[in-house]
Chains A and B, each alone.
Chain A
Amino acid sequence: MPVVIACFKWVVDEAYIRRGAGGALDFSSVDYKIGEYDRNAIEEAVRLRDAGGGGSVIGVTVGAPESAKGVKDALSRGMDRAIFVSDASFRDLEPSQTAAILAEVIRTHIPQYDLVACGEGSSDLYAQQVGPRLAELLGIPCVCFVQKLSLEGGRLRAERRVEDGVEVVEAPLPALVTVLPDINTPRIPGVKDTLMAGKKPVTTVKREELTGTFGGVLKTAAMTASSLERTGEKLAADAAGIARFVDSLRKSGVIR
């Protein structure tokens, strides 16, 4: 009966980021979401619990107080309980800081676990560091970019995808994996799931309860909007539109 920890991040939905004055990022109309691939991590944790005939899934997230919404969202995806490490200073953390905070919280709050599951990368920074860093800080084996996973007899068996193919690996538990998007199809929570999520236990851990200093190492000197916009001429799917399309292709000099 496996105890699986699923790490997730509540992030800005990048689709709503606009380019503001002077190339600044305009977050004024953004919405938030659980990182795309973190949903796969949660789903996989839930699947492994159910396949193991019991056990539990504990979600852990580090973030600013407003990430509480994300905790509820995550709980509606089948987890049993959540640990929310919350502080106003936890808004723009570097991956090294997030990993250090997660490591301390896991060490102090979850005495026994079999697996830690993370997404292959967060939707906002996509640095793909927190998983492998966390494994090192916890001193457990690490398998990144997993497309298929099973647990048996105190070991994991995973297919990890690398440039030249797939490596089928085994490692003793507890271990950490980061998962690829095709490992499963994350559920879309229904009304009942959302209602039930409100009743699930959430442990909130405050900055003062932690002993680490969690200093950053790198400095973000600037974060500016990048412009991908083009002229955007829309044509109809009629004869005139097709003719204009092909004409534009010809004018571009790419085709004869």
Chain B
Amino acid sequence: MAGIWIIAETREQAFELLGAGRSLAPGMGAALTAVVAAGSASPEECIARGADEVLLLAELSPGEPYGAHLPVLEQEARAASPGVILFSAAARGKELAARLAARLGAGLCSACTALSFDKGSGSVLMERIAYGGAAIQKLTSSAAPVVVTVPPRSFAPAEAADGRQGRTRELPAPPPSAVKIVDRKPREKAAKDIAEARVIVCAGRGFDKKEDLALARELADALGGELGATRPLTEELHWLPEDLCIGLSGVQVKPELYVGLGVSGQVQHMTGVRGARVVCAVNKDENAPIFALSDFGIVGNLYEVVPKIIEAMRK
């Protein structure tokens, strides 16, 4: 049976994809191959976590983008004909996965949240979110290869075990890419990882200006929680770092409590909150969709209501 490939840019991605790959391998009776970027996971680490084979991507010169690996990946994939190719759904991985799928004439399940192999039909079963979060799409593939991208943190990382054996091979350097990186700007990272937060106060467009977010922060502090945001605040207004964006194109959260302040409750945002135990909201529009998607909420101006909530909590 054709093998399972994972293609990873970072160490975390490699471990998580190996975890996803290992869940498929026994059913498919397939060997697991880890294709990893130089300087990410070491071959020993990958082998300890279940890789039967490690293919090391060549180190790129500073001006070459990650996508430069495409021709080498295409060539190797044609030679080895894997049945499944897994990528992490991070920006570079998503682009590379789609380009590789196009070159191989393969199907691609983007942002796959559940993955299994059905022995009876010999097909790969996949699930993903569609219509912004309003629907779950179930896909099957019986043609090889099928390319799959998985959102970060959707699968448990593979555990290391002693005494595992595997081969390692270095891949050739790719030809120069037409796209060149001429500059890099590192970005401001959120201090805390909200995917793991127990309480999240989420700020939405209902805030008039950046300085006013202090109010959301104050409530978060009072609740012992973290600040999160809707996409307009992180990607359009740039008031907060992007890794605080909750939802379809951001982080999936699972706190004990989520409080949405000035958040309308569009499905693309709320789908990221589906794992929260308690959801509540403050919104001045009584018809805002968030109310139906909350356990309880106050219809009112957040600028008046939030200070009162903080005060009442102190009592």
Q: Using a CB–CB distance below 8 Å, which chain A residues touch chain B?
A: 12, 14-15, 17, 25, 94-96, 99, 121, 123-129, 131-137, 141-145, 157, 159-172, 175, 180-182, 216-226, 228-237, 241-246, 248-249, 252-255
Contact = CB atoms under 8 A, between A and B. Distances in A.
A228 B268 CA distance: 11
Given A15-B266, A245-B296, A169 B182 contact: yes
A170 B179 contact: yes
Interface string B233-272: 0011010001000001100000011000000001110110
Contacts of B212: none
15 contacts: A12-B131, A96-B101, A161-B242, A163-B92, A164-B186, A165-B186, A170-B180, A170-B182, A226-B136, A234-B296, A237-B301, A242-B305, A243-B312, A248-B280, A249-B257
Interface in B89-141: 90-92, 94-95, 98-99, 101-103, 105-111, 125-126, 129-141
Interface in B137-155: 137-143, 146
A255 to B, nearest CB: 6
A236 B277 contact: no
Interface stretch (B23-31, B52-60, B285-293): B285-293
A217 B107 contact: yes
Nearest to A158: B179
Nearest to A143: B179
Given A14-B134, A128-B110, 10 more contacts: A224-B135, A224-B138, A228-B267, A232-B291, A234-B297, A237-B301, A237-B305, A242-B312, A252-B277, A255-B224
B185 to A, nearest CB: 4
Contacts of B184: 165-168
Contacts of B278: 249, 252, 254
Given A217-B141, A252-B278, A142 B67 contact: yes
Contacts of A219: 139-142
B42 interface: no
Contacts, number: 264
Interface of B: 65, 67, 90-92, 94-95, 98-99, 101-103, 105-111, 125-126, 129-143, 146, 177-187, 198-199, 223-224, 231, 235-236, 238, 242, 248-249, 256-257, 266-268, 270-271, 273-274, 277-280, 286, 289, 291-301, 304-305, 308-309, 312-313
A217 B134 contact: no
Contacts of A163: 90-92
A142 B179 contact: yes
A30 to B, nearest CB: 10
Contacts of B294: 230, 232
A43 to B, nearest CB: 14
Contacts of B198: 254
Nearest to B264: A15
B309 A245 contact: yes
Contacts of B299: 234-237
Given A126-B248, A162-B92, A217-B106, A230 B293 contact: yes
B141 A218 contact: yes
B279 A230 contact: yes
Contacts of B186: 164-165
A223 B136 contact: yes
Among A124, A163, A182, which residue has the most Cβ atoms of chain B within 10 A? A163
Nearest to A231: B295
The 9 nearest A-B residue pairs measured at CB: A237-B300, A217-B107, A136-B102, A132-B98, A168-B183, A218-B107, A133-B102, A165-B187, A127-B110
A242 B273 CA distance: 23
Contacts of A144: 91, 94-95
B274 A181 contact: no
A231 B296 CA distance: 7
B135 A223 contact: yes
